[in-house]
Structure formats: C-alpha cells, structure tokens
C-alpha cells in the first residue's frame, strides 16, 4: 500500500498500533505496520527498559512513542504520598461498595503500596513527560505522539530538532487546526467510538471534517477500526492510514490478564461505556460494577487528573486478586464487540489487509457493472 504516511515512515501498510504493551509494538511493526508504545503510565527507568527491549526485538523496523503533555495535570510533588493525596470520602465510597459486595480487602499495606505505585507511574505533567521524552530520544524512535492537548512549543521544537515528526490526537476539527498551527505534522483524528479518553463526535463525521480542516497535513483515522472494511471506510474518507488501540487487546501479545480477556471477549459494542470514574476525564472503558458505581447518583464527583486514576488503583488490584470479573474494567472501544477470542497481532494485520482488498474489489465492481 502507498499513502503519504507509508512513505513518511517507510512502512508497508498504513496501520498504526497504539499499545502500552511492548510485545504488541514489536509485533505490529514486524507485521508491516507501525507500533507506538504508550508511555504515559511509566517511570523514566521503566521506559528505558521497555525501549531497550523493543530495539533488541524489532529487527530494525520503525516504531514510536506516545506521551501525555497535559497542561492541566497536577504535579503530585516529590513525596507522592497517596494517603495525603486522596480524599477519604472517595476512598471510602468505592471501597465500601466493594466490601458490601463481598470483594475481599487487600492484605495490610498493599492498599498503600498500590496507590503509591500508581502515583509514581503516572507521568502526566509536561515536566514529567519531558523526562520520558529525554529517555525516548536516546533510542531509534521514528515518531513522537502527544496524547492529550497541544504539547509545549519547546517539546515540538526538540522533537523536530531530532529530525522526527510529531503527531497529536484530536477529537474535533477545531483541535486539529490548533495542533497544526502549533507545528504538529500528523493528526490522529479519534472518533468517540474509541477506547480510552474520548470526545463526542463519531468517526464517520470527524474524519472527513479533520481531513478537510488540516489538508495537506496527513490524518490517521482512529476510533472504531479493527477490520478491513473499517479501514477502507477511513481511507475513503480521506485518511492516510489508521490508528488502532482496542483491537490489540484481544491478541495473545497484549497486556491483559486471563480474567480481563474473558471480560473482553464476552463484551458487546454497547458494553464500552464512557465514564469519568476511571481517570477523571471522559474515558471509554468496559462496563462493570466499577463504572456503574461512578454513574450512581450518590457517587462523589470524580477527582481531577491524575487523582482519580490513583484512586482507581486500589479497587482494580482488589478485583484482580479476588478474580472478581464483575468489578474489572479496562479502556476499550466499541470494536470490542468484534473480539470473540484470542488472535495474534500478525493475524489482525493480515485479516485487516485481506478484508480491505476484498472491500475495494466490491466497490470497484459497483462502478464497473
Ligand atoms: C487500553 C487503551 C489505552 C489507551 N491509552 C492511551 C494513551 O495512553 N495515550 C493515547 O494517546 N491514546 C490512548 N488510547 C487511545 C488510542 O491511542 C487510540 O486512539 C484508540 O484506541 C483508537 O480507537 P479504538 O480503541 O477504537 O481502536 C488508549 C486506548 C486503549 C484501548
């Protein structure tokens, strides 16, 4: 396949695979696509290990890194003490519900260590993200992506000085215009169907709006793509490639534990719901008792980024330890309904390309008959 983005990155297929899991990144790039490692949830030391591993296993194929440069994220300060950070009312609300529902409590000390671990791993402020960028730029990455909002000018400049393009996710045409004005080279237009933080405009409307708003800047279509016909639609609407996140969760390479995989394979499209209970911002995740708890009228208002994510850490660990699938959740988009059992990253890429080719043939036949 040939689009401006296959040319820019020297790849065979314009399929970009976002994942927090290094195995997915490697497998996607080796399958002819382009793996991008989500690094918003890591420490510089851990990112260094992950990128070293990727370089050792990716056989020289290109890959990228995705960071969060959120201007509104609060710096937790040096102590990152979870006990002081979280309002007791919030901790009591969600954990009380779990206790009443028979989910065993965590062993003494584990609650605090879990919150501490979450607070240390969350890198959402521009300063923390720049430390991660310092690490990333020591490796042979080919693309830096900003997950939320416009990255600071100094960051864009640094990445450009390193000779790399900068991408950014957007959920509206207006955001796309602002990103391009700030110097962003590739726009990732993510429709509301997507897993993770998401907006309100659906992909079918968003993609052509963004393509028209920023032309000739290339656009990757995201949100609701997991198969070839969806890819064909995205390219027909003017995108130069696709950016997928959820579809990799169902692969054998993904980070999900066996319980979460069961939840994923058993979920339909309507089970991917938007909640603020996960991170504090609207985020599409798998429906469970956890998401329902935060939708209840008596629920306290979710905390700001990154406190709500830290607060979620304890309940997630509790559900995991007790194998309580009814309390488990994870970011996932509406394509979850397409995932019914394990597959591999290579198979997903292959199936996508093969269905894409079939779709193009059917469309050609409409014209020629
Ligand atoms: C588990 C998960 C975690 C995500 N985390 C991030 C993130 O840290 N940074 C980011 O830019 N996008 C993140 N996203 C969004 C993806 O980059 C991508 O835009 C989205 O998954 C595309 O829609 P899809 O889920 O329908 O494939 C995440 C998505 C999922 C499913």
User: For residue range 324-368, what is the model confidence (pLDDT) as tens digits?
Assistant: 999 999 999 999 999 999 999 999 999 999 999 999 999 999 998
Residue to mutate (ligand 1; options 47, 196, 316; most atoms within 8 A of CB): 196
Residue 369 CA to ligand 1 center (angstroms) comes to 40
Determine which residue's CA is closest to atom 4 belonging to ligand 1: 196
For 198-211, write each residue's pLDDT tens digit: 999 999 999 999 99
Residue 298 tokens read as 């008596």
Minimal-distance CA residue to ligand 1 atom 20: 245
H or E element, residue 345: helix 345-368
- Whose tokens are 């994510």? That residue is 309
> Which stretch of 121-130, 134-143, 154-163, 265-274 has the lowest confidence by average pLDDT?
121-130
The DSSP annotation for 31-92 comes to: TTSEEEEE-TTS-HHHHHHHHHHHHHHSTT--EEEEE---TTPPP-TTT--HHHHS-HHHHH
Nearest CA to ligand 1 atom 18: 245
Distance 193 CA to ligand 1 centre (A): 11
**CA of 54 relative to ligand 1 center, distance in Å:** 20
User: Distance (Å, rounded) from C-alpha 240 to C-alpha 4?
Assistant: 6
Give the tens place of pLDDT for each residue, 17-68: 999 999 999 999 999 999 999 998 889 999 999 999 999 999 999 999 999 9
| Structure token pair of residue 364 | 């050609």
Which residue minimizes the CA distance to atom 5 of ligand 1? Answer: 196
**Distance of alpha carbon 146 from alpha carbon 327, whole angstroms:** 31
For every residue of 174-217, DSSP letters joined together read: HHHHHHHHTT-SEEEEE-TTSSEE--SS-HHHHHHHHHHHHTTS
69 neighbors 149 (Cβ within 8 angstroms):
yes
The pTM of this model reads 0.96
Ligand 1 pocket test, pick from 15, 24, 38, 274 with the greatest ligand atom count within 8 Å of Cβ, gives 38
Tokens of 84: 């002081």
* CB-based contact 208:237 (threshold 8 Å): yes
CB 159 within 8 A of CB 144: yes
pLDDT in tens, 213-232: 999 999 999 999 999 999 99
The closest-lying atom of ligand 1 relative to the alpha carbon of residue 330 is: 1
Extended strands (E) in 223-341: 241-244, 272-275, 283-286
- At 177 the pLDDT is 98
Q: What share of the chain is helix, strand, coil (3-state, %, to 5)?
A: 50, 15, 40
Burial of 48 (0-12, 13-18, 19+ CB in 10 A): middle
Q: Which residues line ligand 1 (CB under 6 A)?
A: 18, 38, 40, 66, 147, 169, 190, 193-196, 222-225, 243-247, 331-333, 335
- Position in ligand 1 atom list of the atom nearest CA 226: 27
Nearest to 246 by CA among 228, 227, 262, 232: 227
| Closest residue CA from atom 21 of ligand 1 | 245
Of 15, 16, 17, 18, the one to substitute when testing ligand 1's pocket (max ligand atoms within 8 A of C-beta) is 18
The CA 56 to ligand 1 mean position distance, Å, reads: 25
**100 Cα–ligand 1 center, Å:** 33
β-sheet bridge partners, residue 167: 145, 186
**Which residues have C-beta within 8 Å of that of residue 83, sequence separation ≥ 6?**
112, 115
Separation in Å, CA 346 to CA 51, 173, 215, 279: 21, 33, 32, 31
Q: How far apart are CA 33 and CA 30, in angstroms?
A: 7
CA of 195 to the centre of ligand 1 (A): 5
Pairwise CA distance, residues 186 & 78, whole Å: 35
- pLDDT at position 148, please? 84
Model pLDDT for residues 78-134, shown as the tens digit of each residue: 656 666 778 999 999 999 999 999 999 999 888 888 878 887 777 677 788 899 999
The number of the ligand 1 atom at minimal distance from the alpha carbon of 195 is 25
Residue 37 has what pLDDT?
Answer: 98
The residue whose two tokens read 């609207």 is: 282
Inform me whether the pLDDT recorded for 254 exceeds 80. yes
Q: What is the mean pLDDT of the chain?
A: 94
How far apart, in Å, do the first and last CA atoms of the chain sit?
A: 25
pLDDT in tens, 190-199: 999 999 999 9
- Note the pLDDT tens digit of each residue in 273-292: 999 999 999 999 999 999 99
Residue with CA closest to ligand 1 atom 11: 147
Tell me the CA distances in angstroms from 132 to 43, 69, 95, 165, 168, one per residue in order: 7, 11, 32, 17, 17
Q: Give the pLDDT mean for 290-312.
A: 94
Residue of 253, 304, 318, 212 whose CA lies nearest to 28: 253
Residue 39 Cα: closest atom of ligand 1: 8
pLDDT for the residue numbered 74: 66
CB 243 within 8 A of CB 222: yes
All structural domains of the chain:
4-74+123-253+347-363 (3.20.20.70), 82-121+255-327 (no CATH)
* CA-closest residue to ligand 1 atom 28: 196
Q: CA 345, CA 352: separation in Å to the nearest integer?
A: 11
Relative orientation angle of helices 88-100 and 307-321, to the nearest 10 degrees: 20
Q: Is 51 in contact with 63 (CB distance < 8 Å)?
A: no
State residue 78's pLDDT score.
Answer: 61
């Amino acid at each position: 396949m040939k689009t401006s983005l296959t040319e820019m990155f020297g790849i065979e297929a314009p399929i970009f695979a976002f994942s927090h899991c290094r195995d997915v990144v490697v497998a996607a790039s080796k399958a002819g696509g382009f793996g991008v490692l989500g690094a918003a949830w890591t420490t510089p030391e851990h990112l260094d290990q992950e990128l070293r591993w990727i370089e050792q296993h990716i056989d020289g194929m290109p890959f990228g890194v995705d960071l969060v440069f959120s201007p509104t994220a609060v710096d937790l300060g040096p102590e990152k003490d979870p006990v002081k950070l979280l309002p007791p009312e919030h901790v009591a609300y969600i954990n009380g519900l779990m206790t009443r529902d028979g989910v065993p409590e965590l062993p003494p000390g584990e609650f605090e260590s879990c919150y501490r671990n979450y607070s240390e791993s969350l890198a959402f402020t521009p300063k923390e993200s720049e430390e991660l960028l310092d690490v990333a730029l020591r490796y042979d990455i080919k693309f830096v992506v900003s997950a939320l909002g416009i990255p600071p000018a100094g960051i864009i400049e640094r990445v450009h000085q390193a000779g790399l393009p900068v991408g950014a996710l957007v959920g509206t045409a207006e955001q796309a215009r602002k990103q391009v004005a700030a110097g962003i080279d590739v726009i990732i237009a993510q429709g509301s169907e997507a897993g993770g933080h998401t907006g309100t405009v659906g992909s079918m409307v968003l993609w052509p709006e963004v393509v028209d708003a920023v032309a000739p800047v290339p656009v990757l279509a995201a949100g609701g793509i997991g198969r070839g016909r969806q890819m064909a639609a995205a390219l027909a609407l003017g995108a130069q490639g696709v950016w997928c996140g959820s579809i990799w969760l169902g692969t054998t390479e993904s980070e999900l534990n066996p319980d979460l995989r069961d939840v994923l394979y058993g979920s339909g499209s309507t089970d991917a719901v938007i909640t603020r209970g996960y991170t504090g911002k609207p985020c599409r995740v798998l429906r469970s008792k956890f998401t329902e708890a935060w939708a209840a009228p008596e629920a306290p208002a979710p905390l700001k980024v990154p406190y709500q994510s830290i607060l979620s850490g304890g309940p997630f660990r509790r559900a995991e330890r007790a194998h309580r699938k009814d309390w488990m959740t994870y970011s996932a988009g509406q394509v979850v309904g397409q995932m019914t059992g394990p597959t591999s990253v290579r198979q997903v890429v292959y199936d996508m390309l093969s269905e894409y080719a079939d779709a193009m043939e059917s469309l050609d036949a409409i014209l020629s008959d």
